[in-house]
Structure 1
């Protein structure tokens, strides 16, 4: 079982900031911005290539709600989905980074 599955199952304690039937949201343990959240599907999917359109729509519809909850909707934010080794994915469980709280530079990496 991967680390995110263990967090979802409650086997690893975590500061769950938001939860619904499909996702949990936790702070990133190595934040790259003042606000750095991880949106983690409860269903184990290795990466974005395995997500169904229905689950993708559900997760992306929650981003607006989460942005409002953390007061980041007005100044903006970035969402990042790393996929595979070349994409910088370090945990093989789909997760979305939501970064905010400062001006984010480009290019990203």
Structure 2
């Protein structure tokens, strides 16, 4: 099984990058690869987590960060006990560093063909919408949408 599921790509640029990584046989979110990746900036690390901006942020997101475990798992319940505990340290860092008083947190667990995901390595999305800083503000508003299901295209 591939490390990536191409059926849920949102852009051609994203698909091309995933295909390049898949051909190389590397998981973008494993620690050694993400540290060496020229486009993926690491803004923080804990003992068990990496925090990075999403290279392909969702429409309407003012802030879109990824919390990525250093362990290669596909489900939150597969994380080691120390990694589970450390998740809250990484999340606290994000909340404090970015001064968040509200945010959305999303995780897809299991087979990417069914979850709407693209990379078969657990990661959590921290999302803040573009209009959230101005309640009732003027102008266009695009709500942030995160896909949590999909129908496999390879069946």
Name the TM-score class by shorter chain.
Answer: 0.7 to 0.9
Unaligned stretches of 5+ in structure 2? 1-25, 133-141, 148-155
Match of 2:49 in 1: 23
Q: 2:126 aligns with which of 70, 75, 98?
A: 98
Q: What does residue 7 of structure 2 align with? A: none
Q: TM-score when scaled to structure 2?
A: 0.59
Q: CA RMSD in A?
A: 2.3
Matched, 1:58 2:86: yes
> As a proportion of its length, which structure holds more helix?
2
Counting strand residues as a fraction of each chain, which structure ranks higher?
Answer: 1
**In 2, Cα distance between the equivalents of 1:57 and 1:25?**
16
Decide which moves more: 47-56 or 82-91: 47-56
Q: Which has the larger radius of gyration?
A: 2
The alpha carbon displacement at 1:61 in A equals 3.6
Structure 1 segments (4+ residues) deviating >4 Å: 103-109
> In 2, Cα distance between the equivalents of 1:42 and 1:87?
21
CA contact (8 A) 2:54 2:66 kept: yes
Aligned length: 105
